[in-house]
A and B are shown apart, each in its own frame.
Chain A
Amino acid sequence: MAKVLVVTSGKGGVGKTTSTAALGAALAQLGEKVVVIDFDVGLRNLDLVLGAERRVVFDLINVVQGVAKLPQALIRDKRLENLWLLPASQTRDKDSLTDEGVRSVIAELRTKFDWILCDSPAGIERGAMLAMRYADEAVIVTNPEVSSVRDSDRIIGMLDSKTVKAEKGERVEKHVLITRYDSARAARGEMLSIDDILEILATPLLGIIPESQDVLRASNVGSPVTLNNAASAPARAYFDAARRLMGDTVTMMVPVERKGLMNRLLGRRAA
């Protein structure tokens, strides 16, 4: 049965798009059939992070307005045959997205995919509401930083009240994904710890993505980090998170860089 998962956060710049791309790719690499939808109308970026920016012809709004059929707008990844992208419109007004339009697009995608990942725009306005509206599950991307944790708490409140599931008296299954985590700084008491964040948000943990240069390097070249450098610490963390979404029990840990200092220096120079 298809699962609709929204990747959300409230706050901008915490890694929603990066995480959508990485989780979507990781699920596809693990054999699932995945579509990632960009809900950030006017500020689309998922196409760029996935390296598909020059292949966009039709978009979500075209489909919602009946200008294009869904299969015409879907872009299949060139490296992963199980991964598809439904891009956002870059030019249209963000009000062209309607509740009914989103409902029908998601209903159609449910018949074709195992996973439908909705990359939410930042904020708590219409776009973010529509991205979470039909979700079965939610990944709340949180940085170990006060403003991000506060906004995550607000978004959790919305997931519990404004989604179709919540309105039917059911629950959206929520998971916190902590990104940009620096375990050394947390150990020195300079950064909120995992336990602090989980206690405050009272929501189960999906994974811990360490702060890493590999993430920027991957987006620079338009390739999800799980594909660009599958052995890197953030890629392994995203693979673990994807396995947990699939129902596997994976021991929680903060992956660390495997390279030695010399290798790291050399690797940095080569990149």
Chain B
Amino acid sequence: MMNLLRLLGGRTASAPVARERLQILLAHERGLRGQPDLLGLLRAEILAVVSRHVVLDPEKVIVRMDRGKNVSTLEVDIEVPHGFERSPAMAAT
């Protein structure tokens, strides 16, 4: 009898679930939209700062981000060619 009642009209409403999922997802996506290329920006600025002191191959600067449930990590991998060669601008000063 209970099963029959559930079949007839007691189905749980799914719209509140839809609403909540959308709110969480869109809050996340709108955040990303504001800063369209966070990684690109980080890479460019890190490259600029490090290049002031050390000669770098721009191709060898890799910035990676990993979004985890509890912890997110930002990985910066910079390959320095031929040991540390000081940037000419800085070496002069």
Contacts and interface: CB of A to CB of B under 8 A. Distances in A.
Contacts of B13: 188-190
A255 B14 CA distance: 24
Interface in B1-41: 11, 13-16, 18-19, 21-23, 25-26, 29-30, 33
B16 A189 contact: yes
Contact of A193 (B14, B15, B22): B15
A191 B23 contact: no
Interface residues of A, number: 16
Interface stretch (A32-40, A98-106, A114-122, A150-158): A150-158
A150 B26 contact: yes
A190 B26 contact: no
Question: In terms of DSSP, what is the predominant structure of the interface of chain A?
Answer: helix
Contacts of A149: 22
A192 B15 contact: yes
A189 B15 contact: yes
Nearest to A200: B22
B29 to A, nearest CB: 7
Contacts of B18: 145-146, 192, 196
A43 interface: no
A7 to B, nearest CB: 22
A186 interface: yes
Which size bracket describes the interface of B in this complex? 10 to 19
A186 B23 CA distance: 18
A200 B16 contact: no
A153 B19 CA distance: 13
A71 to B, nearest CB: 41
Interface string A170-199: 000000000000000010111111001000
A236 to B, nearest CB: 25
Given A146-B21, A150-B22, A200-B22, A186 B29 contact: no
Nearest to B12: A189
Contacts of A145: 18
A154 B29 contact: yes
B29 A153 contact: yes
Contact of A200 (B11, B14, B19, B33): B19
Q: Give the residue among B14, B15, B30 with the most A Cβ atoms within 10 A.
A: B15
Nearest to B19: A196
A189 B14 contact: yes
A33 B43 CA distance: 53
Contacts of A196: 15, 18-19
Contact of A157 (B15, B16, B25, B30): B30
Interface in A135-174: 145-146, 149-150, 153-154, 157
Interface of A: 145-146, 149-150, 153-154, 157, 186, 188-193, 196, 200
21 contacts: A145-B18, A146-B21, A146-B22, A150-B25, A150-B29, A153-B26, A153-B30, A157-B33, A186-B15, A188-B13, A189-B15, A189-B16, A190-B11, A190-B13, A190-B15, A192-B15, A192-B18, A193-B15, A196-B19, A200-B23, A200-B26
